[in-house]
C-alpha cells in the first residue's frame, strides 16, 4: 500500500497523501472499467485506464521514494505541490471525461 513505508519513516502527511491518492485512483479505475455506461463507453474506459496508470505510478513512485529513504535520502521524488497539481489534473480529467460521456449519450 503506498504510504505505508512513508508512515514507517515518520512521514505521516506524505503517507496519508499517497495512500489517499492511490485508493482514489484505483477505486475510480475499477468503477470506470467494470461498469462503463452504454453511451460514451470508449471515453469512460479510456479515463479508467488513465486512472489505473496513475494508481500504478503512485505505487511505483512511493516504492522508489521509500527505497531512497532507506538509503538516507529524505528528499521527495515528487514535491507536495506537484502532487496537488496532479490531483487537480486528474479531477479535471474525470469531470470533463464524464461530461463528454453524458454529451455523447444524448
- Give residue limits of the domains in the chain: 4-104
C-alpha cell at 16: 496519508
| Per-10-residue mean pLDDT, the chain, length 106 | 90 92 95 85 91 95 92 88 93 91 80
Q: What are phi and psi of 85, to 5 degrees?
A: -70, -35
pTM for the whole structure: 0.87
Amino acid at each position: 500500500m503506498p504510504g505505508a513505508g512513508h508512515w514507517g519513516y515518520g512521514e505521516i502527511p506524505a503517507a496519508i497523501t499517497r495512500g489517499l491518492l492511490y485508493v482514489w485512483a484505483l477505486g475510480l479505475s475499477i468503477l470506470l472499467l467494470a461498469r462503463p455506461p452504454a453511451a460514451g463507453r470508449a471515453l469512460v474506459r479510456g479515463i479508467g485506464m488513465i486512472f489505473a496508470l496513475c494508481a500504478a505510478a503512485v505505487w511505483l513512485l512511493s516504492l522508489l521514494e521509500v527505497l531512497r529513504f532507506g538509503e538516507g535520502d529524505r528528499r521527495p521524488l515528487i514535491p507536495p505541490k506537484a502532487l496537488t497539481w496532479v490531483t487537480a489534473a486528474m479531477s479535471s480529467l474525470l469531470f470533463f471525461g464524464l461530461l463528454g460521456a453524458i454529451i455523447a449519450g444524448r
